[in-house]
């Protein structure tokens, strides 16, 4: 799509300096601008680029005073960075909005119920009894197992797998390759040393406004539901085991793993590569630093932890400092021993 910069200035509440009829069709960083691109200048250290840029238009501060000639048209606004971000969002929304209709190459079970304005791309599999809410976007290669429910305005990206009976709320975003509802890792050791599978017959329930990262895995409950409450954000390659509950508006960074039946409170922040063992209770607003290992329940709300196993944040930092000084400590003990031995002799 092409837009005149006069139009764009109007959207952004800015004023044009130059030809309002100039058309742009893409967005770029100022150091990478090409003809037909619109860019922006927010950080003063990038100012030299505005005199060289080949972009057709640049969004600048209201009071920007060029010290040389500029070939691009200017759009003057109060906050160039947020104005540009606004354009980027509009471009993204336009792309998403253009996805419409049910591709005839999708498999849609006759018993599935599809809401209004749903996009179902080519090579989507929609199983028996699936319900998809209005305005949902189901990208190519998504698998929706039997009896799944997908809320209105939810987007599921390519190659995500939603196993049978799982429920996803409204306005969720599921990224490519995420797996929701795979079997929990449950085996009963037998007398002969073999491992007998414990059937995993529950499901996974995501509330509204949950985001799940690429290739993350959320296992179905042994019985009942693995529960992801409203507004939880899960990063790429995270593992959520069976029967876990994640409280509302918590965020879990990449490659973290949470073992079976642990219940995490609301508004928690968990760094990357954290491991949390099973059957714990984690209080609301807990913060866990990256690479930590959580091996006990956390009762008090709003505390920060670090280390494997975790300690309170500041105490762990002290231990880490002294860990790096262990050689010095060891030498000081030796000196003391020598000094004392000398005294004895």
Catalytic positions are 242
Which one among 163, 286, 288, 305 touches its own copies, defined by CB under 8 A? 163
Among 170, 211, 228, 305, binds its own copies (CB under 8 A): 211
Q: Which of 67, 69, 194, 345 binds its own copies (CB under 8 A)?
A: 194
Among 102, 152, 176, 283, which residue interacts with its own copies (rule: CB under 8 A)? 176
188 lies in the binding site for its own copies (CB under 8 A): no
| Side-by-side strand order, sheet with 15-17 | 15-17, 73-77, 57-61, 37-40, 26-27
Q: Can you tell me which of 55, 166, 207, 253 binds its own copies, judged by CB under 8 A?
A: 253
Q: Does 224 engage in binding with its own copies (CB under 8 A)?
A: yes
Instruction: State the nearest-atom distance from the C-beta of 273 to its own copies, in Å.
Output: 5
45-64: contacts with its own copies (CB under 8 A): none
DSSP state of 124: -
Give residue 192's region: left, alpha or beta (phi > 0; psi -120 to 50). alpha
Measure the CA–CA gap between 288 and 303, rounded to whole angstroms.
9
Strand bridging mode 167-168 / 149-150: parallel
| 161 near its own copies, judged by CB under 8 A | yes
Instruction: Please pick, from the candidates 3, 46, 49, 123, the single residue that binds its own copies as defined by CB under 8 A.
Output: 123
Instruction: Please report how close the Cβ of residue 163 comes to its own copies at its closest, in angstroms.
Output: 7
In the bound complex, what is the minimum distance in angstroms from residue 143's beta carbon to its own copies? 4
Q: Strand, coil or helix: what is 97?
A: helix
- Which of 69, 110, 193, 345 is the binder for its own copies (CB under 8 A)? 193
Structure tokens at 2: 């092409």
Site string for its own copies, 124-143 (x = CB under 8 A): -x-------------xxx-x
Phi, psi of 201 (to 5 degrees): -110, 0
Of 17 and 260, the one with the shorter C-beta distance to its own copies is: 260
Run of H or E including 281: strand 281-282
Strand partners, 26: 37
User: Does residue 286 bind its own copies (CB under 8 A)?
Assistant: no
CB 234 within 8 A of CB 215: no
Residue 151: closest CA among 174, 173, 125, 170: 170
Phi, psi (5° rounding) for residue 38? -115, 140
Q: How far is the CB of 64 from its own copies (least distance, A)?
A: 20
Q: Which of 74, 75, 233, 246 binds its own copies (CB under 8 A)?
A: 233
- Asked if 105 and 120 count as a contact pair (C-beta separation under 8 A), the reply is no
Stretch that binds its own copies, among 51-59, 62-70, 130-138, 289-297 (CB under 8 A): 289-297
Please answer whether residues 156 and 174 qualify as being in contact, where contact means their C-beta atoms are separated by less than 8 angstroms.
Answer: yes
Answer yes or no whether residue 273 interacts with its own copies by CB under 8 A: yes
CB closer to its own copies, 76 vs 157: 157
Q: Is residue 177 involved in binding its own copies (CB under 8 A)? A: yes
Residues 267, 246 contacting (CB under 8 angstroms)? no
Query: What is the smallest separation between the CB atom of 121 and its own copies, expressed in angstroms?
Result: 7
Q: Token match 């949950």: residue?
A: 210
């Amino acid at each position: 799509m092409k837009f005149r910069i006069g139009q764009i200035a109007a959207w952004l509440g800015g004023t044009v300096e130059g030809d309002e009829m100039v058309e742009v069709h893409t967005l770029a960083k100022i150091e990478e601008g090409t003809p037909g691109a619109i860019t922006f200048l927010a950080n003063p250290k990038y100012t030299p680029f505005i005199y060289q840029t080949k972009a057709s238009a640049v969004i600048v501060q209201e009071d920007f005073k060029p010290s040389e000639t500029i070939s691009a048209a200017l759009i003057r606004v109060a906050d160039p960075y947020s104005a540009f971000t606004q354009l980027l969002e509009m471009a993204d929304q336009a792309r998403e909005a253009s996805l419409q209709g049910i591709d005839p190459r999708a498999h849609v079970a006759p018993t599935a119920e599809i809401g209004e304005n749903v996009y179902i791309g080519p090579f989507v599999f929609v199983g028996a009894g699936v319900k998809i809410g209005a305005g949902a976007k189901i990208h190519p290669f998504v698998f929706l197992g039997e009896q799944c429910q997908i809320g209105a305005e939810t987007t599921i990206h390519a190659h995500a797998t939603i196993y049978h009976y799982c429920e996803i709320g409204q306005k969720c975003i599921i990224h490519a390759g995420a797996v929701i509802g795979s079997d929990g890792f449950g085996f009963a050791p037998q007398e002969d040393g073999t491992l007998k599978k414990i059937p995993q017959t529950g499901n996974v329930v995501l509330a509204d406004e949950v985001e799940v990262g690429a290739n993350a895995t959320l296992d179905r409950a042994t019985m009942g539901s693995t529960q992801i409450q409203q507004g939880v954000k899960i990063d790429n390659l995270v593992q959520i085991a069976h029967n876990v509950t994640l409280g509302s508006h918590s965020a879990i960074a990449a490659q973290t793993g949470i073992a079976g039946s642990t219940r995490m409170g609301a508004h928690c922040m968990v760094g990357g590569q954290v491991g949390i063992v099973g059957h714990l209770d984690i209080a609301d607003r807990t913060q866990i630093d990256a690479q930590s290992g959580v091996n006990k329940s956390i009762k008090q709300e709003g505390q920060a932890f670090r280390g494997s196993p975790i300690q309170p944040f500041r105490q762990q930092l002290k231990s880490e400092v002294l860990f790096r000084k262990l050689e010095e400590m060891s030498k000081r003990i030796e000196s003391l021993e020598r000094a004392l031995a000398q005294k004895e002799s």
